[in-house]
């Protein structure tokens, strides 16, 4: 499904990715974890060529992205959805328009656009907020719009760049639930970058651990299922006053 072959990338003097080989299979939820600066986001951004590798090849859905013309690449990107830590919605467009724009770009048949937008927004549970602007939404709702937008063109792959890192624990669990549902019911292959161990453990089948631009290891795991973390104020106080300090975690 996704193949990185000997991919390297430098930013001026700094080598962000060092000859990485990685294969991600169809239907996987694949995690990429590592410390800040380990190159996990950069690696993910190679999978739709938001970063162009200095060396090596990137193959997605059987297409070698690195040897496509810019027009073919745009076409290929339509089947690779992406969501972001900071959502990256168009602030001057409504929820509806934010999703619709991805269909306008791909020349999705005009008559079916409205239905498709509503379908996607229903899938993420936002069908009642069509006319709202992003500024009127919570973080979790914004990410749902991001997900609906990424799903609109029926992608085969969904790239998630720290999708829950600016969300609270409860909302994180909700969003992970949506992602899991996309993988199970739509069969979309998901790659998720996160520095949060809990996120990776709860949803991924296979995890790549990165260190200083290299793959340290790739391990198979048994997803622990998503825990709805209690974020009532009482729980916070309990956790804070329980004693034992850092070791407790």
Partner 1 sequence: MPELLVQYETEIWTSIGETFVMVGVSILAAILIGLPVGTFLFLCRKGQVLENQFVFSILNLLVNIIRSFPFLLLVVFLIPFTRLVLGTAIGTAAATVPLSIIAIAHYSRLVEQSLLEVPKGVIEAAISMGASIQDIIFKFLYVEARSGFVLGLTTSIISFISYSTIMGVVGGGGIGDFAIRYGYQQFKTELMIYMIIIMVILVQLIQFFGTTVSRMIDKR
Residues that bind partner 1 (CB under 8 A): 48, 50, 74-78, 80-82, 84, 86-93, 101-102, 104-106, 133, 135, 146, 149, 153, 159
245 to 196, 240, 249: CA distances (angstroms): 20, 9, 8
Reported for 227-236, long-range contacts at CB under 8 A and 24+ positions apart, including other chains, are 227/173, 227/198, 227/202, 228/170, 228/173, 229/169, 229/170, 229/172, 229/173, 231/168, 231/169, 231/170
Minimal distance, residue 46 CB to partner 1, in Å: 12
Is the CB of 51 or the CB of 174 nearer to partner 1? 51
Q: Name every residue whose Cβ is closer than 8 Å to that of residue 51 and which is 6 or more positions away in sequence.
A: 9, 42, 45
Minimal distance, residue 31 CB to partner 1, in Å: 20
Is the CB of 98 or the CB of 202 nearer to partner 1? 98
| Separation of alpha carbons 45 and 159, rounded Å | 8
Is the CB of 84 or the CB of 123 nearer to partner 1? 84
Is the CB of 133 or the CB of 165 nearer to partner 1? 133
Terminal-to-terminal C-alpha distance of the chain: 37
Minimal distance, residue 205 CB to partner 1, in Å: 24
Minimal distance, residue 107 CB to partner 1, in Å: 10
| DSSP class of 248 | G
Is the CB of 144 or the CB of 201 nearer to partner 1? 144
Minimal distance, residue 126 CB to partner 1, in Å: 17
């Amino acid at each position: 499904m996704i193949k990185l072959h000997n991919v390297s990338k430098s930013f001026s003097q700094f080598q962000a990715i060092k000859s990485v080989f990685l294969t991600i299979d169809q239907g996987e939820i694949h995690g990429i974890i590592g410390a800040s600066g380990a190159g996990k986001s950069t690696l993910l951004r190679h999978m739709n060529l938001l970063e162009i590798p200095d060396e090596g090849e990137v193959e997605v859905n059987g297409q070698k992205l690195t040897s496509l013309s810019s027009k073919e690449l745009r076409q290929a990107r339509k089947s690779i959805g992406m969501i972001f830590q900071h959502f990256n919605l168009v602030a001057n467009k409504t929820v509806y328009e934010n999703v619709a724009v991805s269909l306008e770009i791909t020349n999705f048949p005009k008559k079916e656009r409205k239905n498709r937008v509503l379908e996607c927004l229903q899938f993420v549970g936002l069908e009642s907020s069509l006319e709202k602007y992003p500024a009127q939404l919570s973080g979790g709702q914004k990410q749902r719009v991001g997900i609906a937008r990424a799903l609109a063109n029926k992608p085969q792959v969904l790239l998630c760049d720290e999708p829950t890192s600016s969300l609270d624990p409860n909302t994180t669990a909700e969003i992970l639930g949506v992602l899991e549902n996309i993988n199970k019911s739509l069969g979309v292959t998901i790659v998720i970058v996160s520095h949060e161990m809990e996120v990776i453990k709860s949803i991924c089948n296979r995890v790549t651990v990165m260190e200083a631009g290299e793959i340290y290891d790739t391990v198979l795991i048994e997803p622990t299922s998503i825990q709805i973390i209690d974020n009532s104020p009482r729980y916070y106080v309990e956790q804070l006053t329980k004693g034992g300090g850092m070791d407790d975690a």
